[in-house]
Amino acid sequence: MLNYSFFNKYISFIKILFFVFLLGVLSFGRAFSIVNLKIESTPLFVTEIFLLCSAPLIAAKIKKIIKIAPLFSGLMFAYVILGLLHLIYSFPAAGFFALRDFTFLCAYSLFLPVVVVCIDNLKALKASVYIIVFANIIAIGIGSLLIFGGPKVEAYGFVSNAKSFQIGMVYGISSIFLLTLYNFFDRKFLRLLILCLVSLNLYMIVILSVRSLWLAVILSAIFLMFLNGFKSTIRVYLKLLISFLMIGSLLFCFCMLTSKTRYLDNFINKGKSLFYVLDIVSGNSSNLNRGSLSETGQVGYDNIVWREKIWKQTLNFAGDSFLFGKGFGNYPEYDIWGVGKRPCNPFTDSKITPTHNYLLTVFYKTGIVGLTLFFSINLFVFYYALKHLKTCKNVFVAIIVKSSLSVLLLWYVMALFFDVIDSPPTSILLWIFIGLIFAAVKVDHPETSLGHKSSQPKVHIKNED
């Protein structure tokens, strides 16, 4: 009886710890994830500390978790086993670099069962949305410091370690959840708050000038129309457009009056640089006169060319290891500007140059076998979620599933152009939101529960159209 009571208290502790961890990651991104404890000069980061604390819980519940979706569990098992084999094979030569790659690509998948266990009822599902929105508000404050704080952002302490594309992803994630929640609320005041917060998010996304984030948000918004119903979503988007124009105009005037125009100039020139993509992809980049571009335009042009060269060299590097890849801790020696020294530290300031494309990363490390497993895992998630949406009993559960699917699409698009899968605060988001889908379905179908009683009302979804 004592042991049972202790384990229940341990579960409660992990649940609280998970929500605190989620708030930290979403609010501060890299600035939070690099917090660590030094053990004989070897850092143990907060992400790994949390997973170690959660390990007994995962071990105790793993059999019941597997039963929720046996086929999916089989794919995950095969993917992790492949990663373990690569780790065992690569570790003697690559050491902690091999462990680093295994952690990013495979070990972080443990967040999936953690989410399923921690979010085991409707109250916990709602708490996860509150965390996302609260983190969004904090991230807006941090983004404002990065954008308007001037050149000496290091003066803001650990917050200065936040990356703009990671903060931008939080704006996109929260906006997706808020827009899906819009029709859930009847009170006009709450709907107005949603429109204002999403409008502020969109303004920050525009000003951050991360072009892949623009694309990701547009595609996610289109996908939401298919999930939420075309007519009802268009009505929400039209109201959002009016709100965005009003709030955007006020913020634009503020920037002009306070001479905070640097990021407005970046937005204009980054927008222009999108036209370079067509020339570069078609092989006509020689037709572009780089010297005639503005300084920001040159940076935008160089970023596109840089990625093109990195991707080609990565494919050449992986060419002779098509089936199983190059393994972990083995990195291409890129012949391109901006690439630092050879990797020297597997922890912080590693000098590793990521591929800035998650498909290439998985492919060159684990081959076509690993990429096929990874692709199958993600494809199954969409099949599983869309199938359960047809029979979903609870409106709020459906909102969680639809929002999480759209967030996954945003993640996929961002990860095609940034080192999303190679960075802990963004890599774990893939597994967290996959876990949120399974957790939501489990809450909607108590017969698949992990031993906890569930009694949410059966509320059928209205067709908005």
d(CA 95, CA 98): 6
d(CA 193, CA 209): 25
Distance (Å) of CA 128 to CA 15, 54, 177, 248: 11, 18, 11, 29
pTM here is 0.88
* 166-217 residue pLDDT tens: 888 999 999 999 999 998 998 899 999 999 999 999 998 988 878 889 899 9
**How many CB atoms are located within 10 Å of the residue 396 CB?**
19
**Which residue has 């591929």 as its token pair?**
355
**Which residue has 């443990």 as its token pair?**
110
User: What residues contact 86, with CB distance under 8 A and at least 6 apart?
Assistant: 98, 101, 102, 324, 325, 327, 328, 365, 366
201 touches 254 (CB < 8 A): no
pLDDT 10s per residue in the chain (465 long)? 446 688 888 989 999 999 999 999 998 888 788 877 877 777 788 899 999 999 999 988 888 888 888 999 999 999 999 999 999 999 998 888 899 999 999 999 999 999 999 998 999 999 999 999 999 999 998 888 777 665 555 545 556 667 778 888 999 999 999 999 998 998 899 999 999 999 999 998 988 878 889 899 999 999 999 999 899 999 999 999 999 999 988 887 776 666 555 565 565 565 555 555 555 555 555 455 555 445 555 555 667 778 888 898 899 888 888 899 999 988 888 877 656 555 555 555 566 788 889 999 999 999 999 999 999 999 999 999 999 998 888 999 999 999 999 999 999 999 998 889 988 889 999 999 999 999 999 998 876 555 444 444 444 444 444
* 330-356 residue pLDDT tens: 888 887 765 655 555 555 556 678 888
**Which residue has 């085991």 as its token pair?**
120
DSSP per-residue letters across 252-281: HHHHHHTT--HHHHHHHHHHHHHHHHHHHH
Give the residue among 16, 220, 22 at the shortest CA–CA distance from 136: 22
**Which residue has 């002779």 as its token pair?**
320
Give the residue among 98, 147, 119 at the shortest CA–CA distance from 14: 119
